[in-house]
Chain A
Amino acid sequence: MAVRTIEVRERVMARNNEIAADVRSRLGGHGVTAINLVSSPGSGKTTLLERTLGALGEEMDIAVITGDVQTQNDADRLSAHTPRVVSAVVTNGACHLDALQVFTAIDEIDLDRTQLLFIENVGNLVCPASWDLGEKEMIVLFAVTEGEDKPLKYPKMFQNARRVVMTKIDLLPHVPFDMDRAVANALSINPELKVFRVSALTGQGLAQWFDFLRSSVLPVSTSG
Chain B
Amino acid sequence: MGASLLASRTGGLVHEMSVAMEIGRIAEVKLGDAAPQLVTVAVDVGDSAGVEFSSLEFCLEAVFATPPFAGAKPHIMRCAGDVLRVAYLEIDDGRTDD
Contact present for A5 and B14 (CB under 8 Å): no
Q: How far is the CA of A5 from the CA of B10 in the complex (A)?
A: 31
Count the A-B residue pairs with Cβ separation under 8 angstroms: how many? 93
Check A7/B88 contact, CB under 8 A, given A93-B11, A127-B50. Answer: yes
Complex contact A6–B89 (CB within 8 A): yes
Q: How far is the CB of B7 from chain A (nearest CB, A)?
A: 9
Inter-chain contact B11/A5, CB cutoff 8 Å: no
Contact of A93 among B13, B88, B90, B97 (CB under 8 A): B13
Q: Is the CB of B14 within 8 A of A95?
A: yes
Contact count band on B: 35 or more
Q: Of residues 5 to 20 in B, which have CB atoms within 8 Å of A's CB atoms?
A: 10-15, 18-19
In the assembled complex, how far is the CB of residue B31 from the closest CB belonging to chain A, in whole angstroms?
8
Given contacts A94-B18, A95-B13, contact A8 B97 (CB under 8 A): no
- In B28-86, the 8 Å CB interface with A consists of 30-31, 39-40, 43, 48-51, 84-86
Contact among A2, A12, A95, A126 with B22 in the assembled complex (CB-CB below 8 Å): A12
Given contacts A1-B92, A3-B90, A93-B10, contact A12 B48 (CB under 8 A): no
Please report the C-alpha to C-alpha distance between residue A92 and residue B8 in the assembled complex, in whole angstroms. Answer: 10
Given contacts A8-B86, A96-B18, A98-B18, whether A2 and B92 have CB atoms under 8 Å apart is yes
The digit string for A89-110, where 1 denotes a CB below 8 A from any CB of B, is 0011111101000000000000
Given contacts A92-B11, A93-B12, contact A10 B48 (CB under 8 A): no
In the bound complex, CA of A181 to CA of B96 (Å) = 64
For residue A15, which residues in chain B have a CB less than 8 angstroms away from its CB? 22, 25
User: With A92-B11, A94-B13, A127-B15 in contact, do A12 and B23 touch (Cβ < 8 Å)?
Assistant: yes
Residue of A nearest to B98 (CB): A2
**Minimal beta-carbon separation of B71 from chain A (angstroms):** 12
Contact A126 B88 (CB under 8 A): no
Query: Is the beta-carbon distance between A11 and B84 smaller than 8 angstroms?
Result: yes
Residues of A within 8 A of B25 (CB): 15
Q: Mark A114-131, 1 if CB is under 8 A from B, else 0.
A: 000000000000110110
Q: Which residues of A contact B19 (CB under 8 A)?
A: 12
For the complex, give the distance between the alpha carbons of A4 and B92 in Å: 6
- Taking each of B10, B18, B43, B88, which has the highest tally of chain A beta carbons within 10 Å of its own beta carbon? B18
CB–CB B50/A12 < 8 A: no
Taking the nearest CB of chain B, how far is it from the CB of A166, in angstroms? 23
- Answer whether A4 and B91 are a contact pair too, CB < 8 Å, given A95-B14, A98-B18: yes
Q: Which residues of A contact B12 (CB under 8 A)?
A: 69, 92-94
Residues of B within 8 A of A3 (CB): 39-40, 90-92
**A8-B50 CB under 8 A given contacts A95-B15, A127-B15:** no
Q: A6-B31, A12-B22 are in contact. List 6 more A-B contacts (CB 8 A).
A: A1-B94, A4-B93, A6-B88, A10-B86, A127-B15, A130-B15
